[in-house]
Amino acid sequence: MRLFGQSIIAAALFGGAFIGLAAKADTAVERGLKVVREHCTRCHVVPGINPYGGIGSTPSFSAMKWLDDWAYRFEIFYILPPHPSLVRIEGVSEPRSDALPAFSKEIILTLEDVDDILAFVKTLKTPE
Ligand code: HEC
């Protein structure tokens, strides 16, 4: 009986640890989706997040996948206009120059976030 009780406790502990691990381990794709949802959908249309949102003049993420070098563009998007004035990468970008227009909120990301965004965009289908 005692042994039985112990194994239930052990199973509960093990199960708890397992669930804890599963809940913590967001994949790169999931992290990328969160970054994109929070920071990019203000301007870009992203399938599965805001198919009717975005700003008309801004390319949709799936349309960009028509370009052969789309992945490269996503790796360096923060140095391509108009992003330098609104996105800063920790440890990479210079502090924002006073000469640039002030936006209400600067987007501050890490290089890992940039990798995660790329992992997420890889999962988007190219439009038919
Ligand atoms: C303030 C609006 C705005 C936000 C926010 C924004 N973008 Fe953009 N993005 C643009 C516009 C406008 C263009 C088109 C630029 C052009 O045509 O030269 C663009 C173009 C791009 C391109 C293609 C660049 C090129 O020159 O080929 C990529 C990649 C990109 N954005 C990624 C992102 C990612 C990732 C985020 C979120 C972290 C983001 N953008 C947030 C406005 C925005």
Q: What is the pLDDT of residues 48-91, one digit of tens each?
A: 899 888 888 899 999 999 999 999 999 999 999 999 888 999 98
Å from CA of 61 to ligand 1 middle = 9
- Name which residue sits closest to atom 32 of ligand 1, judged by CA: 77
**Ligand 1 neighbour 117 (Cβ under 6 A):** yes
**Which residue is associated with the tokens 């360096």?**
76
Q: Which of 38, 39, 44, 46 to mutate to test the pocket of ligand 1 (most atoms within 8 A of CB)?
A: 44
Element holding 109 (H helix, E strand):
strand 107-109
Q: Please count the other Cβ atoms lying within 10 Å of the Cβ belonging to residue 32.
A: 24
Å from CA of 109 to ligand 1 middle = 14
- In this prediction, residues 10-39 reach a mean pLDDT of 76
Q: Which residue has the higher pLDDT, 85 or 40?
A: 40
Question: Mean pLDDT across the chain, nearest whole number?
Answer: 83
Q: Which residue has the higher pLDDT, 16 or 29?
A: 29
Q: What crossing angle do the helices spanning 111-122 and 28-39 adopt, rounded to 10°?
A: 100
Instruction: Output the CA angle 104-63-65, nearest 5 degrees.
Output: 105
Q: Which of 9-13, 111-115, 119-123 has the lowest mean pLDDT?
A: 9-13
How confident is the model over 10-24, as pLDDT tens digits? 555 555 555 555 566
Residue 33 has pLDDT above 80, yes or no: yes
